[in-house]
């Protein structure tokens, strides 16, 4: 079913070459949006565009736009946004989805890895948002979506760099939301738990190498399509934030907020178990 209040909107999606970003491209495209596909790998973006054109050929849509970009190359992002606006005329919705995960203890993780993950997950999204904002403010309309994580609300052992970057996104979003409300610009933060994507496969270890393993929790996670539907619904309803998770992560969030001492004990136990597992 096409939702009229977002059809014809220009939707810019980072990390659109696979996983959740690809699923979001399909979901927005089905709604008649003009999607702008952004990621590093042009060949994969071409594949996603072809899939969109062939999968939804009966839906009245616009030709998807491809703009390859690297979130690590922060200085280039403004020029990419200018290119998008010159092609599409505007950017109605920005979905900051591109990101990378991390596996490793604080002690074993090189600082360069922390910097890389923060640059991609936080600074890249912040830079794109800053580049898009002037045109949204000028038109007095727009919507910015940040794909955070449950781990942006409750940090886990051996995820310090990833959790820190998502915590930063949460704070940035709250400040931004308050500042742009008077300009009719909406901010939505999405905090999903595990999604069955290649996030763990592509995660960085403490030394900066690719983790290359599919975690059992990731394997058993939500489908990207399910999460994408929830996100589009949240955009339509202009929700400020949503958590997409099973009961256990929601319980952890509750404990962290209202019974922090118990939460800290549970996390310490989990950290101890992880340490013993690594020693074996």
User: 195: which 2 tokens?
Assistant: 């999604």
User: 87: which 2 tokens?
Assistant: 């092609």
Residue 231's contacts (CB-CB under 8 Å, 6 or more residues apart) are: 24, 27, 95, 145, 147, 188, 190, 242
Decide if 162 is catalytic: yes
* DSSP secondary structure of 231-255: HHHHHHTT-SEEEE--HHHHHHHHH
Residue 91 near residue 138, CB atoms below 8 Å: no
Catalytic residue, chosen from 162, 194, 222, 263, is 162
Q: For residue 211, give the nearest of 102, 72, 99 by alpha carbon.
A: 102
Residue 67 near residue 80, CB atoms below 8 Å: yes
Report, as residue numbers or ranges, the catalytic residues: 162
């Amino acid at each position: 079913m096409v939702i009229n209040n977002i059809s014809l909107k220009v939707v810019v999606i980072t990390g659109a070459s696979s996983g959740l970003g690809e699923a979001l491209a399909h979901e927005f495209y089905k709604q008649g949006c003009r999607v702008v596909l952004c990621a590093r790998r042009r060949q994969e973006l071409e594949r996603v565009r072809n899939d969109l054109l062939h999968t939804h050929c009966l839906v009245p849509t616009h030709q998807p736009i491809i703009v390859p970009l690297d979130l690590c190359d922060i200085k280039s992002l403004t020029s990419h946004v200018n290119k998008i606006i010159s092609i599409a005329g505007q950017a109605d919705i920005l979905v900051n989805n591109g990101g990378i995960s991390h596996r490793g203890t604080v002690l074993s993780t090189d600082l360069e890895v922390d910097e890389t993950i923060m640059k991609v997950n936080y600074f890249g999204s912040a830079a794109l948002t800053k580049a898009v904002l002037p045109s949204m403010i000028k038109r007095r309309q727009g919507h910015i979506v940040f794909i955070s994580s449950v781990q942006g609300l409750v940090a886990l052992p051996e995820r310090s760099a990833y959790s820190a970057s998502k915590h930063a996104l949460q704070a940035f979003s709250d400040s931004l939301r308050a500042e742009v409300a008077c300009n009719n610009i909406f901010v939505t933060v999405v905090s999903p738990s595990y999604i069955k994507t290649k996030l763990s496969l592509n995660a960085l270890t403490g030394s900066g190498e690719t983790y290359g393993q599919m975690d059992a929790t990731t394997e058993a996670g939500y489908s990207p399509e399910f999460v994408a539907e929830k996100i589009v619904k949240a955009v339509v309803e202009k929700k400020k934030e949503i958590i997409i998770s099973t009961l256990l992560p929601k319980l952890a969030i509750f404990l962290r907020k209202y019974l922090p001492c118990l939460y800290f004990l549970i996390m310490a136990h989990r950290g101890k178990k992880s340490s013993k597992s690594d020693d074996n």
